Amino acid sequence: MGKILVTSFTLLVSLIFTIGESRVNYNGYKVLRINATQNRAFNALKNLFIQDEMDFWSPPSRVAPTDILVSPIRVRPFRTFLDTIGAPYEILIDNVDYEIEYERLNYLASSELRTSEMNWEAYQRLETIHGWMDSLAEKYPSMVSVFHVGNSTEGRPLKVLKISTGEARADKPAVWLDGGIHARVTYIANELITQATRYRNQRLTDAYDWYINPVMNPDGYEYTQVDRLWRKTRSGPRPVLGGFLGWCRGVDPNRNWDFQWAGKGTSRNPCSQIYHGPNAASEPEVQAIQEFVLERKDQIKLFLTFHSYSQILLLPWGYDEVRTDDHDDLMRVGTKAIKTLESVHGTKYTAGNTAEILYAAAGGSHDWAKGAAGIKFAYCYELRDTGNRGFVLPADQIIPSGEETFAAVQSMAEDILEYIKPEEEQTTVPVDGAVTEAGQKLYQKPL
């Protein structure tokens, strides 16, 4: 009898584990795009946002659409609620699972044509990305090196790629780039190497050390194989009201940095998508990157972090509607960069202070880079698109998005060189005139 009970218990645990790790199904989930320009509608949505009642893909705004993911059981009452508060809306994505499944089937259908080598025709697994980084260091040992800067909660390595040519010196300026689920960051790394090796164009790798962390949240990235829309880390689980309301995993890594932590646009609820964590830099991923950047804070002149979506270039500060003292300098470089970006495929971006054009979000990495590390030029790119596909951007947009983003990054790097010259040689960064000069100067058609 005891043996039967033990066997039954083992089977039950196995079943629970299997169910817990099976692919999350979003069949029937819809994304509604809401116009909240009227005070009544805006205030009602803001209350929902604060209470963590819904999954907001974009926060309440009077000047931009608000996108919300709605489960099948809540679609009808939520639409009634929107009618009641007088908020016009449209169905942006009719069935989210269809978009996810379409992406997955395309990936599987093309698997026979692909090898395990890195490519930009699909979103790659972490193992492929890390293997590609290591292979670059082996192939180009004088140009590329890989740093293992720490481990995630679940023990996955955090790797940073360094690309540099020319003279090696301690005071050589540097650029930092990081991403999460965005293949565009690895695309930029690949283009830097291609420019330097195939086209013999080493201007930017001679001028800068490039530090690139393609996957800052490796646990969350891998967990998207189970839940395609997962955005947090995988730490925990943590109790809600002492466990009375359950337990939830993860922290929003872009609310966890040690600058203005736990402020506006964050949540103390462990189940929230914007949970700021139990304390600043509680996540080992954030701790490791903070330490790595701080060791090089005098060297790093440009800090770029890549997210999705909205097609916006965000400037500090994000913690509140406050501008930095050098806001105009950042806007000059940023405005020229997004014009250069637009020249590649016609994609339009907006640039501005995070809290002013999007929403307040404390504890973000570009705020930390500016406020804690003292890096003058710190930005956050919210990449394609503007919501039509949202967080399930098709893989066929990786390359065009990478091409235009690479041109924008080159523009920034070129312009910032003017700021870091000796004082007597410094010049003002141009805004008008040759809009795409910096990008076109170095940009080659990718292979």
131 has a pLDDT exceeding 90: yes
Residue 439 pLDDT class (50, 70, 90 cuts): very low
17 has a pLDDT exceeding 70: no
* Residue carrying the six token digits 């009642």: 53
Full residue range of the structural domain in which residue 368 is found: 123-222+279-442
365-377 residue pLDDT tens: 999 999 999 999 9
Q: Are residues 64 and 213 in the same domain?
A: no
Q: Are residues 71 and 149 in the same domain?
A: no
| Chosen domain end from 94, 113, 136 | 94
| Chosen domain end from 57, 74, 94 | 94
pTM over 0.85: yes
Of residues 185 and 175, more confidently modeled: 175
Catalytic option among 382, 403, 404, 414: 382
Q: Are residues 297 and 389 in the same domain?
A: yes
- Between CA 8 and CA 2 the distance in angstroms is 10
Q: Are residues 90 and 130 in the same domain?
A: no
Q: Are residues 315 and 371 in the same domain?
A: yes
Domain membership of residue 131 (yes or no) is yes
Q: Are residues 75 and 188 in the same domain?
A: no
440 has a pLDDT exceeding 70: no
Cβ partners under 8 Å of residue 319, min gap 6:
259, 260, 263, 264, 265, 355, 360, 361, 362, 363, 364, 367
Tokens of 161: 């790629």
- The C-alpha angle with vertex 335 and arms to 329 and 338, in degrees rounded to 5, equals 140
- Amino acid letter at 112? E
User: Which is nearest to 306 in space by CA: 364, 267, 386?
Assistant: 364
CATH number at residue 88: 3.30.70.340
Please state at what angle helix 184-197 crosses helix 126-139, rounded to 10 degrees: 20
- Between CA 200 and CA 249 the distance in angstroms is 47
Q: Are residues 65 and 136 in the same domain?
A: no
Q: Are residues 73 and 194 in the same domain?
A: no
35 near 90, Cβ under 8 Å? Answer: no
Q: Are residues 178 and 34 in the same domain?
A: no
Strands of the sheet with 312-315, listed across from one edge:
144-151, 157-163, 209-213, 174-178, 300-308, 377-383, 312-315, 350-353
Domain membership of residue 358 (yes or no) is yes
Asked about 342 being catalytic, the answer comes back as: no
Average pLDDT over residues 151-176: 96
201-245 residue pLDDT tens: 899 999 999 999 999 999 999 999 999 999 999 999 998 877 776
Domain membership of residue 111 (yes or no) is no
CATH number at residue 367: 3.40.630.10
Domain membership of residue 310 (yes or no) is yes
- Between CA 251 and CA 232 the distance in angstroms is 5
Q: Which long-range contacts (CB under 8 A, 24 or more apart) does 124-132 make?
A: 124/183, 124/186, 125/222, 125/225, 126/156, 126/215, 126/218, 126/221, 126/222, 129/186, 129/214, 129/215, 130/157, 130/159, 132/186
| Tally of CA atoms within 13 A in the half-sphere of 89 that contains its CB | 29
User: Which is nearest to 361 in space by CA: 321, 307, 310?
Assistant: 321
φ, ψ dihedrals at 79, nearest 5°: -65, -35
Domain membership of residue 366 (yes or no) is yes
Q: Are residues 184 and 44 in the same domain?
A: no
Q: Are residues 70 and 169 in the same domain?
A: no
Number of folded domains that form the chain: 2
Q: 302: helix, coil or strand?
A: strand
Q: What is the pLDDT of residue 16?
A: 36
Q: Are residues 288 and 176 in the same domain?
A: yes
Domain membership of residue 6 (yes or no) is no
Domain membership of residue 157 (yes or no) is yes
Domain membership of residue 189 (yes or no) is yes
